[in-house]
Chain A
Amino acid sequence: MSTATGDRLGLTLLYQQCVNICDEMALAMMRTAYSPIFSEGLDFSTMLLDANGELLAMAGINPAMLGASLYAPKWIVTEVGRESFGEGDVYVHNDPYRGGSHIPEHLVVTPVFHDGEIQAFVGAIAHWVEVGGMAPGSFAATAEDIYQEGLRLPPVRLFRAGEPVEDVWKIVLANHRTPNTTWGDMNAMIGSLNVGVRRLRQLFEERGLATVLASFPLLQDYAEEWLREQIRALPDGEYTGEDCMEDDGLGDRPYWVRLRIVVEGDEMIFDFSQSDPQAQGPINAPYVVTVSGALNGFLLLLSPQERAPVNAGSTRPVWVVAPPGTITNVRLPGACVAGQTEVQNRILELVGRALAPVAPERAAAAAGGTSMNFLFGGVHPATGEYYAHYHFEGNGWGGRAAADGNDAQIVPHGNCRNTPVEVFETRYPWRHVEYALNADTGGAGRFRGGLGIRRTLRFVGDSIRISALADRMKRPPGGIFGGADGHPSGLELRRSGEPEFRTFQDVFRTVSPSKFVNVRLHEGDEVRITSPSGGGYGDPLERDPELVALDVREGFVSRESARAQYGIELTAAGGVDRAGTTESRRRLRGDVGADREALE
C-alpha cells in the first residue's frame, strides 16, 4: 500500500505490519525478562497507539489485557497531557482506578517522535510477579481494599529524556519483595518499548509519515466496520445469562454476575446493571476488565478465518454498562485483584452462553473458569535470597460444536503458557511428585470437556508462605445442550509425615477452600492442585463411539465411564463392540429412539 486508502487488503497489510512490530516488542520482552511469568508464562502484551493514545494494534498474546490496552494509555495521555511527554520519557502506571486491570499489571508508554513531534505512542503491559501488599505474589485473596493489594502507581515518569527517574525507581523497588526481579522485568519492558519506537520510525520512513498517519484512523474504522458486520449477522433481541463467583475469600456466599445483551442492528449493549453489589473481598472487576470480558467473549464467537483488526474502533459499536459499586465495576477503594483472572472468565463465558441459542455452532460449554492462582514466597535455602512466584494453572476447556475442549490450557482470555517443571524447580524450592492430566473428569458430551490437571508439589525448603485465589471448587463448569458438567477444582495439603491429603479449610480453618493468604508450610509438606475440567457439549449418547474408544485407549476416559456415560461397550482389544453399544445406548436412553440408533 503506497497511499492511505480504505481498501481492506491494504489496511490488512498495514495492520499485520503493526502487529508484527508488537510481536517483535513482545519477543524482546520475553527474551530479556527475569521472571518466569514473563519469559515462560507470557503474561503480557505490547501495543501501538495513535497520538491520542488510542489503540491501533496489539500483540496476539494476552487478550485479557484488551480492556486496559483500550483505555489506560488513552487516559494517561489525557490525564497528564500530551504536552507533558518529551522524547525519551516513559510513564508507568498500574492503577485499576485509572484504566488498569489489577495492581500487578503495569503499563508503560513512551511517545514516538518523528519530525520533532509526537506521531504515536508505543506501550507494553505486563504482570509483575511481586508488587508488595499483604501476601507474597501480590494476589491477596482476603484483601478488603486496594491498599492491601500492593503498591499503587498513578501515571508517573519512570524515565525522563531517556534517563531513569531514580526517585520513582527507589520507591517502587523498596516496596516490592523481589526488587531484582522487578528491576529485570521493568527493563525488559523498556527494551520492548525501544524496539517499538525503532520499528515504528522505520515504518514512517518506508511508507511515508503522512501516509501512515492518514491510515491510522482508517485502521480503527476498519475494526469498527468489521465488528458491525458481525453484530448485524445476529438476530435483534435480548439475551441474558448469569453465573457466579463462589465466594469472595471473606465469606461463604456466591456473588452473581448478571448480563443482558441487547442486539440492535449493528450495535450491542452489554448491560451488567443487575449484577451483585461489589464484594468485600477482591473478586471485583474494574470497568476495563468487564469491557475486556464482554469484547473477548464476543470475539471468541467469531470465525477465526475472518481475522480483522482489534483496536479502538472495536469499541464503537459496543456499549458496556456496569454501574459503579457492583462486582462488574468496583468502586474505590475496593479490592479487585481477582477481577482480571476470575471475573473476566465469568463474563466471557456468559456472553457465549447468552448468545448460544442463536449461535449454537459457535458456543461452548463452560471451561475451567479459574486461573487457579497459587502464590508463594520465602527465603531460598540455596541462595539465602527472598523469592516469590505467581503460578497459574491450565484447566480443561468446554466442549464445542465440532471439537472436544482443550486440555490443560490456561483460561481462554489469558492465553498464557505454563511454566515448565524444569524452570519451576530450578527457581523455587519445590519438587514435583506428580503432574498429570486428570483422567475421567472431562464433562461427557457429544464433544467432551477438556481435562484439567493434577499437580502435586513437595516443598524442599525450610519455611514458606503460600496463598491461593481460585474458584469453581464448589460449582463445576457447566455442560451445554445436554452435555454433562465438568469437574471442580481442588487444593489440598498433606503435612509431612501424615498419610492423607486434607483441604486447607480443614487444616487451617480458612473461610474459603479456594481463597486464602499466608499459610505457612514446612519441609516435606505437599500441596496438590487439581484444576477444573470443562463441561461437555451435546448428548454424550451421540458421541462417535470411535472417539470414545480412542479416549479409552489414550487414558482420557476409563472403560467404566465409557460404558456408564457414553453407553460404549468395548472389546477386549479396545475396539467398539457395536452390538453391545447399541444395546447399552438403548438402555441408557430408556429405549426411546432406539430404532433410530445408527452407529455406522
Chain B
Amino acid sequence: MTWEPIEKPWNDISVEYCDVCGNLLIRRFWRFTTCDGVELRACSEDCEGLHARLHPPTRPGVGRD
C-alpha cells in the first residue's frame, strides 16, 4: 500500500485508469493488494476501501484482521 509515481516520457500521451472506480490516474497511483491477493492501482487511498465494499471477501474470514 503505497503511492507510486507514473513515470512516462513527455511524448507518451497514453492514459491510465483507476482499477477500482475508473477515474484517470494523473502522475501517480495508489498501489494496494486485495484480500484475494490481486494487486491493483487506484486513484486514491479511499478507493482501496471502496474496493473492499464492492467486492467483499469471497471466503469467510479472508481479509479480516
Give the A-B pair count, Cβ closer than 8 A.
43
Chain B interface, >50% SS class = loop
Residues of A within 8 A of B53 (CB): 264, 269
Residues of A within 8 A of B22 (CB): 287, 320-324, 329
Nearest residue in B to A264 (C-beta to C-beta)? B53
What are the residues of chain B within 8 A of A75 when measuring CB–CB?
24, 26
Q: Which residues of chain A are within 8 angstroms of B50 by Cβ–Cβ distance? A: 269, 319, 321
- Within 8 Å CB of A287, what residues of B? 22-24
A99 lies within 8 A of chain B by Cβ: yes
Q: How far is the CA of A78 from the CA of B25 in the complex (A)?
A: 11
Partner of B21, one of A71, A320, A331: A320
Taken residue by residue from 533 to 545, chain A's Cβ proximity to chain B (1 for < 8 Å, 0 otherwise) reads as 0000000000000
Across the interface, do B26 and A97 meet the contact criterion of CB distance under 8 Å?
no
Of the listed residues B13, B21, B27, the one surrounded by the most CB atoms of chain A closer than 10 A to its CB is: B21
- B2 contacts partner chain A, Cβ-Cβ < 8 Å: no
Q: Which residues of A contact B13 (CB under 8 A)?
A: 154
Q: Is the CB of A99 within 8 A of B14?
A: no
- Cross-chain contact B21 with A97 (CB below 8 angstroms): no
| Contact yes or no, B26 A78, CB < 8 A | yes
Min C-beta distance of A209 to chain B, whole Å? 29
In whole Å, how far is A257's beta carbon from the nearest beta carbon of chain B? Answer: 14
- The bracket for how many chain A residues form the interface is 20 to 34
Could you tell me if B21 and A321 are in contact, using CB atoms closer than 8 angstroms? yes
CB of A87 within 8 Å of the partner chain? no
B20 proximity list for chain A (CB < 8 A): 321
Q: Is B62 an interface residue (CB 8 A)?
A: no
Residue B54 at the chain A interface, CB threshold 8 Å: yes
In the complex the two chains form, what is the Cα distance from A323 to B40 in whole Å? Answer: 14
Contacting A at CB under 8 A, from B25-65, are 26-27, 50, 53-54
A175 vs B14: C-alpha distance when bound (angstroms): 23
Known: A320-B21, A321-B20, A324-B17. A79 touches B54 (CB 8 A): no
In the assembly, what is the distance between CA of A71 and CA of B15, in Å?
15
Q: Does A98 contact B (CB under 8 A)?
A: yes
B8 → A minimal CB distance (Å): 11
Is the pair A79, B24 in contact by a Cβ cutoff of 8 Å?
no
Shortest beta-carbon distance from B56 to chain A in Å: 13
- Known A97-B15, A269-B54: A78·B24 in contact at CB below 8 Å: no
Question: Bound complex: CA of A331 vs CA of B22, how far in Å?
Answer: 10
| B22 smallest CB distance to A (angstroms) | 4
Interface string of A345-372 (1 = CB under 8 A from B): 0000000000000000000000000000
Which residues from 129 to 155 on chain A have a C-beta closer than 8 Å to any C-beta of chain B? 154
CB-based contact B24/A98 at 8 Å? yes
A263: min CB distance to chain B, Å: 12
B61 to chain A, nearest CB (A): 23
B residues within 8 A CB of A79? 26-27
Q: Does A332 have its Cβ within 8 Å of any Cβ on chain B?
A: yes
Is A271's beta carbon under 8 Å from chain B? yes
- Least distance between A333 CB and chain B CB atoms (Å): 10
CA A321 to CA B15, docked complex, whole Å: 18
Kindly supply a per-residue 1/0 record for chain A positions 53-82, scoring 1 wherever the CB is within 8 Å of any chain B CB and 0 otherwise.
000000000000000000100010011000
Shortest C-beta distance, A450 to chain B (Å), equals 34
Among candidates B21, B24, B27, B54, residue contacting A99 with C-beta atoms closer than 8 Å: B24
Distance of A287 Cα from B17 Cα, bound (Å): 10
10 smallest beta-carbon distances between A and B, as pairs: A324-B17, A322-B22, A329-B22, A78-B26, A97-B15, A75-B26, A321-B21, A323-B22, A324-B22, A332-B15
| CB-defined A-B contacts under 8 Å, sample of 13 | A75-B24, A78-B26, A79-B26, A97-B15, A97-B24, A269-B54, A271-B54, A319-B21, A320-B23, A321-B20, A321-B22, A321-B54, A329-B22
12 A-B pairs besides A78-B26, A264-B53 with CB distance below 8 A are A71-B24, A79-B26, A79-B27, A97-B24, A98-B24, A319-B50, A320-B22, A322-B21, A322-B22, A331-B17, A332-B14, A332-B15
